[in-house]
């Protein structure tokens, strides 16, 4: 894939965030990686979506060096590259401050799996990271945000739960490409909203029983999946 | 009614789900039955509403055999046919993951009748099914989802309460045709939203008194109904 | 004002309900009275807003007789005429099932005046009527709904609080004409929403102090009002 | 800047309030100051946004005298001039009754800093003013609203927290010009909404730790800021 194509894919995914009402102003960013070339295209920092163009996308390598582009890349660049380096199967990363997912992040608790809507997309709870230590903040805040996320996934398969909430901050989601990571950002916001409503209806609500979680996840994503067209 | 007409009715009802903002992506499906022919037209599995066409609808008989169509039918097909076999007066079925109705399903409680908006459409609470047993999940999940629903309606008239929430999952609604089942899906979501707000304002709120429920239901649906144009 | 003009005013006010997202389907009705002629124009019963035309409006006198019109008037007609007979200064009445106002009605409590947004339009709490007795329901439900409202306003000036919630049911609002009654329906929904949020943030929240309520109400509606253009 | 230009800037900022869905009817007002000339342009009182034109803006000096304009200025004019006189770095002021910010104002508590979305724009909690005394209401209500605000900022830098909620009333925001004050009104509403959701998920939720607040505020606004394009 050429840099031009990579930029266009990243651009289209960024614009989809706005169409889906997940962001206001500059509050989000999407990237897509080309693993063969070892670079990603990412949104420039602080540019309003209304003014964004495909050529504004910045090409950055996995050591956070700018390879091509006139603008400064997203201030969250190091979090994106950290995720690409550690989650080897993913091709796109999305960061938003979508309302309900951010509220759970601010409440600093994982989002329980309360129903099949959740189980259709994530195998179990959406983890909330630990709160960052002062040492980490000092060291390299955006890199350490990535560390918080990969620590929260120790022993977990990021393909089975393609989303996380960072304590006190906001969500990150991922997928096989930029478009799929945005899709998961939309799904997460709706899951987070339903979970908020469930929790405020019944603060003691237990998670969905394992059998139904298993069934729904596997009928969509298991080796004998029968959802969708083959 | 020809298969072509049946498909078109089912298609239009599916598209109405999107116009009414009850679904995102592929999260819902609507069917309509032709009782004379013993077949229904239903949405294909996993096709986004943006891409859906009338000819994509699949004709399926009441034993879940595909009669006509190139695509795999909705993964919830067996739940639809189960409902048509057991609720003999209904002509259309809708399944969504609409936000507030799903939140009640996740909280695993029936939606109480708190007011006349509810009583205008459903004679008493909207039942929540039992949680499915592991044996049922193993046996035939989608068929058993139908069983959960018909069990919840033992001794009840599905024409008087044309809607249900499946525990840990989401709502199903029905009506005399596909369009009316979608209408009930829209109504249920608004009833569920009002009930959520009422319950969070006063967790001890009692149901509407029987006399007002009776009056509102009967003035619209009773034999001396005087609502609407005759 | 001719019947034609009266119908047109009522029609426009009804359509405004839809533009302001206060209703779905047929869930509301607006009327306007011509006091000189002793008649009102009101929406016909059960007609969807999408299909409504000015000529559908029904002219009804204050004893609920149809004076002109091909259609059956709103099933809430007797509530409207009751209000016109008892609140002599009003010229328009609106009934909706708007979400937040209805939630308060279902919770069967008056909406406290928590802030200046409320005080700008209503002098003190929005009263919730008593729950209707079985005898009243039997006697004449829609007329008695009017009685519930006028009973709730005993000793109160309906011009100072141009809105009410009927217990277990939904809101009614009024004003100098149909358009103003719709305006008050929009205002009530927003007041009800803010009050819901306030109450769920702090269940013990006290009402706004009397001095600020007084100030805000009087600067807009008092004899020395200085809000707006003179 | 000519009066014409000043009016146009104030007009555009006022209209942006409507586009961002922060106001209904006449419920808000924006002004912009020309410090060299010692005058501001402000929205006229009680004029619906649908009818507003640039030439309706009123030019008012810092002692609240009308310098140019046919219409009566906003009833909140004295609050605006008070803020300009006391916060010397600001160039625009916005007042709305946006839903979630108003709910916090009605609950009469400051909005805690629960997350980085908040920290990106305000250095610490959004202060809620004291409730106004009866003496203040009697003396000069709108001037005293300004006093409540500047009292709440004693020892605080209004550039670091460009927003406030007035107890029992609603928010005011400010910025380097009218457009930026509207931007802060949009941001405040979203912060207030997220804080509401966080607080209702966990009523005991603590504020964001100081280190993260510091980091986020400084990376956007500090002397070594690296957010956005330089």
With b meaning 16 or more CB within 10 Å and e meaning fewer, what string describes C70-88? Answer: ebbbbbbbbbbbbbbeebe
Say yes or no for a CB contact (<8 Å) between D228 and A200. no
Question: In this structure, are residues D169 and D154 in contact, taking their beta carbons and an 8 Å threshold?
Answer: no
Say yes or no for a CB contact (<8 Å) between C99 and B226. no
Q: What mean pLDDT is predicted for residues B33-50?
A: 96
Give the residue from A22, A42, A168 with the most D CB atoms within 10 Å of its CB, the best one to mutate.
Answer: A168
Q: Is the pLDDT of residue B1 over 90?
A: no
List Cβ neighbours of D106 (8 Å cut-off, separation of 6 or more).
Answer: C114, C115, C194, C195, C197, C198, C205, C208, D168
Question: In this structure, are residues A100 and D117 in contact, taking their beta carbons and an 8 Å threshold?
Answer: no
Q: How many CA atoms lie within 13 A of D43 on its CB side?
A: 31
- Radius of gyration over every alpha carbon of chain C, rounded to an integer in angstroms: 17
State the smallest CA–CA distance between residue C145 and chain D in angstroms.
Answer: 30
Question: In this structure, are residues A153 and A163 in contact, taking their beta carbons and an 8 Å threshold?
Answer: no
Count of all residues that appear for chain D in the document: 230
Give the residue from D187, D192, D198 with the most A CB atoms within 10 Å of its CB, the best one to mutate.
Answer: D198
With tokens 């007009």, the residue in question is D11
Q: Note the pLDDT tens digit of each residue in C6-33.
A: 999 999 999 999 999 999 999 999 999 9
List Cβ neighbours of A162 (8 Å cut-off, separation of 6 or more).
Answer: A90, A121, A122, A173, A174, A175, A181, A184
Rounded (5°) CA angle D58-D63-D67: 35
Q: Could you tell me which of C7, C30, C9, C8 has the C-alpha nearest to residue C18? A: C30
Count of all residues that appear for chain A in the document: 230
Q: What mean pLDDT is predicted for residues D147-159?
A: 97
Q: Note the pLDDT tens digit of each residue in B9-28.
A: 999 999 999 999 999 999 99
Q: How many CA atoms lie within 13 A of C29 on its CB side?
A: 25
What is the DSSP secondary structure assignment for residue D177, as one 8-state letter?
S
Q: Note the pLDDT tens digit of each residue in A126-183.
A: 999 999 999 999 999 999 999 999 999 999 999 999 999 999 999 999 999 999 999 9
Say yes or no for a CB contact (<8 Å) between C100 and B205. no
Q: What mean pLDDT is predicted for residues A111-124?
A: 98
State the smallest CA–CA distance between residue C102 and chain D in angstroms.
Answer: 18
Q: What mean pLDDT is predicted for residues D11-23?
A: 97
Give the residue from B191, B196, B201, B202 with the most C CB atoms within 10 Å of its CB, the best one to mutate.
Answer: B201
Q: Note the pLDDT tens digit of each residue in C49-75.
A: 999 999 999 999 999 999 999 999 999
List Cβ neighbours of B181 (8 Å cut-off, separation of 6 or more).
Answer: B13, B30, B90, B92, B93, B94, B162, B173, B174, B175
Q: Which of the other chains make 3 or more beta carbon contacts under 8 angstroms with chain A?
A: B, D
Residue of C nearest to B20 (CA): C24
Task: Report how far Cα D105 is from the mean position of its chain's Cα atoms.
Answer: 13
- Radius of gyration over every alpha carbon of chain B, rounded to an integer in angstroms: 17
Say yes or no for a CB contact (<8 Å) between A201 and B104. yes
Which pLDDT score, from 0 to 100, does residue D148 have?
A: 98
Q: Is the pLDDT of residue C230 over 80?
A: no
3-state secondary structure C176-202: CCHHHHHHHHHHHHHHHHHHHHHHHHC
Which pLDDT score, from 0 to 100, does residue A1 have?
A: 84
Residue of B nearest to A200 (CA): B200
Count of all residues that appear for chain B in the document: 230
Which pLDDT score, from 0 to 100, does residue C1 have?
A: 84
Q: Which of A10-14, C219-223, D98-102 has the lowest mean pLDDT?
A: C219-223
B215 phi/psi in degrees, rounded to 5: -60, -50
Say yes or no for a CB contact (<8 Å) between C116 and D27. no
% pLDDT > 70, chain A: 100
**Active-site residue (options: D120, D159, D177, D196):** D120
Q: Could you tell me which of D96, D92, D94 has the C-alpha nearest to residue D40? A: D92
Nearest to B102 among A194, A211, A230 (CB): A194
Sheet order of strands, D163-165 included: D66-68, D58-61, D39-42, D28-34, D92-96, D171-175, D163-165
Q: Alpha-carbon distance C118 to D103, whole Å?
A: 12
Say yes or no for a CB contact (<8 Å) between A99 and D205. no
B175 phi/psi in degrees, rounded to 5: -175, -170
Q: Which of A222-226, B145-149, D31-35 has the lowest mean pLDDT?
A: A222-226
Question: In this structure, are residues B90 and B177 in contact, taking their beta carbons and an 8 Å threshold?
Answer: no
B114 phi/psi in degrees, rounded to 5: -95, -10
Q: Alpha-carbon distance B217 to B211, whole Å?
A: 10
Nearest to D107 among C202, C209, C219 (CB): C202
Which pair of structure tokens corresponds to residue C142? 């829609």
* Helix or strand run (H / E) with residue D100: helix D99-107
**Chain mean pLDDT for chain C:** 97
Q: Does residue D125 belong to the interface with chain A, where contact is any CB pair within 8 Å?
A: no
Which pLDDT score, from 0 to 100, does residue A190 have?
A: 98
Which pLDDT score, from 0 to 100, does residue D201 have?
A: 97
Say yes or no for a CB contact (<8 Å) between C229 and D71. yes
Question: In this structure, are residues C13 and C30 in contact, taking their beta carbons and an 8 Å threshold?
Answer: yes
3-state secondary structure chain B: CCHHHHHHHHHHHHHHHHHCCCCCCCCEEEEEEECCCCEEEECECCCCHHHCCHHHCEEEECCCCEEECCCCECCCHHHHHHHHHHCCCCCEEEEECCHHHHHHHHHCCCECCCCHHHHCCCCCCECECCCCCHHHHHHHHHHHHHHHHHHHCCCCCCCCCCEEECCCCCEEEEECCHHHHHHHHHHHHHHHHHHHHHHHHCCCCCCCCHHHHHHHHHHHHCCCCCCCCC
Which pLDDT score, from 0 to 100, does residue A162 have?
A: 98
| A187-A193-A199-A205 Cα dihedral, nearest 10 degrees | -30
Give the residue from D21, D185, D195, D201 with the most A CB atoms within 10 Å of its CB, the best one to mutate.
Answer: D201
Q: What mean pLDDT is predicted for residues D83-99?
A: 98
Rounded (5°) CA angle D222-D225-D230: 130
Residues of C whose CB is below 8 A from D97: 117
- Residues 179..198 of C with a Cβ closer than 8 Å to B: which? 196
State the smallest CA–CA distance between residue C107 and chain B in angstroms.
Answer: 5
% pLDDT > 70, chain B: 100
Residues of B whose CB is below 8 A from C71: 229
Residues of B whose CB is below 8 A from C172: none
Say yes or no for a CB contact (<8 Å) between B212 and C170. no
**Residue D134 annotated to the active site:** no
Which pLDDT score, from 0 to 100, does residue A128 have?
A: 98
| 3 state DSSP class of A92 | strand
| 3 state DSSP class of A171 | strand
What is the DSSP secondary structure assignment for residue D44, as one 8-state letter?
B
Residues of D whose CB is below 8 A from C21: none
**Active-site residue (options: B25, B61, B151, B227):** B227
Q: Note the pLDDT tens digit of each residue in B157-175.
A: 999 999 999 999 999 999 9
Question: In this structure, are residues C126 and C188 in contact, taking their beta carbons and an 8 Å threshold?
Answer: yes
Question: In this structure, are residues A66 and A73 in contact, taking their beta carbons and an 8 Å threshold?
Answer: yes
With tokens 């409507």, the residue in question is D18
Q: Note the pLDDT tens digit of each residue in C74-124.
A: 999 999 999 999 999 999 999 999 999 999 999 999 999 999 999 999 999
Residues of D whose CB is below 8 A from C222: none
Q: Which of the other chains make 3 or more beta carbon contacts under 8 angstroms with chain C?
A: B, D
State the smallest CA–CA distance between residue B92 and chain C in angstroms.
Answer: 19
Question: In this structure, are residues B38 and B31 in contact, taking their beta carbons and an 8 Å threshold?
Answer: no
Q: Could you tell me which of C64, C68, C59 has the C-alpha nearest to residue C11? A: C59
Q: Could you tell me which of A45, A49, A26, A37 has the C-alpha nearest to residue A3? A: A37
D59 phi/psi in degrees, rounded to 5: -90, 125
Which pLDDT score, from 0 to 100, does residue B22 have?
A: 97
What is the DSSP secondary structure assignment for residue D66, as one 8-state letter?
E
ipTM of the complex: 0.96
Q: Note the pLDDT tens digit of each residue in A61-107.
A: 999 999 999 999 999 999 999 999 999 999 999 999 999 999 999 99
Nearest to B201 among C137, C169, C196 (CB): C196
pLDDT band at D43 (very low <50, low <70, confident <90, very high): very high
Say yes or no for a CB contact (<8 Å) between D115 and A27. no
**Residue B100 annotated to the active site:** no
Say yes or no for a CB contact (<8 Å) between D211 and A137. yes
With tokens 């299909």, the residue in question is C51
Q: Does residue D116 belong to the interface with chain A, where contact is any CB pair within 8 Å?
A: yes
List Cβ neighbours of D83 (8 Å cut-off, separation of 6 or more).
Answer: D90, D93, D146, D149, D150, D172, D174
Residues of A whose CB is below 8 A from B105: 115
**Active-site residue (options: A25, A61, A151, A227):** A227
Question: In this structure, are residues D188 and D99 in contact, taking their beta carbons and an 8 Å threshold?
Answer: no
Domains and CATH numbers, chain C: 3-221 (3.40.225.10)
Q: Alpha-carbon distance D114 to D205, whole Å?
A: 8
With tokens 């709904």, the residue in question is C145
Nearest to B168 among A116, A195, A197 (CB): A116
């Amino acid at each position: 894939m050429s840099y031009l194509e990579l930029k266009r894919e990243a651009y289209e995914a960024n614009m989809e965030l706005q169409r889906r009402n997940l962001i206001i102003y500059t509050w989000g960013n999407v990237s897509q990686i080309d693993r063969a070339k070892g670079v990603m295209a990412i949104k420039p920092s602080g540019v309003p979506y209304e003014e964004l163009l495909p050529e504004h996308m910045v090409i950055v390598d996995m050591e956070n060096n700018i390879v091509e582009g006139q603008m400064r890349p997203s201030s969250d660049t190091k979090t994106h590259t950290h995720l690409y380096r550690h989650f080897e199967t993913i091709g796109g990363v999305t960061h938003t401050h979508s309302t309900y997912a951010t509220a759970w992040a601010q409440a600093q608790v994982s989002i329980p799996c309360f129903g099949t809507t959740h189980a259709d997309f994530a195998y179990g709870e959406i983890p909330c990271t630990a709160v960052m230590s002062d040492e980490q903040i000092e060291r390299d805040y955006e890199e350490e945000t990535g560390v918080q996320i990969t620590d929260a996934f120790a022993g977990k398969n990021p393909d089975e739960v393609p989303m996380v909430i960072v304590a006190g901050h906001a969500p990150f989601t991922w997928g096989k490409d930029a478009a799929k990571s945005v899709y998961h950002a939309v799904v997460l916001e709706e899951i987070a909203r339903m979970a908020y409503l469930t929790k405020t209806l019944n603060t003691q609500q237990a998670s969905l029983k394992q059998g139904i979680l298993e069934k729904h996840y596997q009928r969509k994503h298991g080796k004998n999946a029968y959802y969708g067209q083959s």
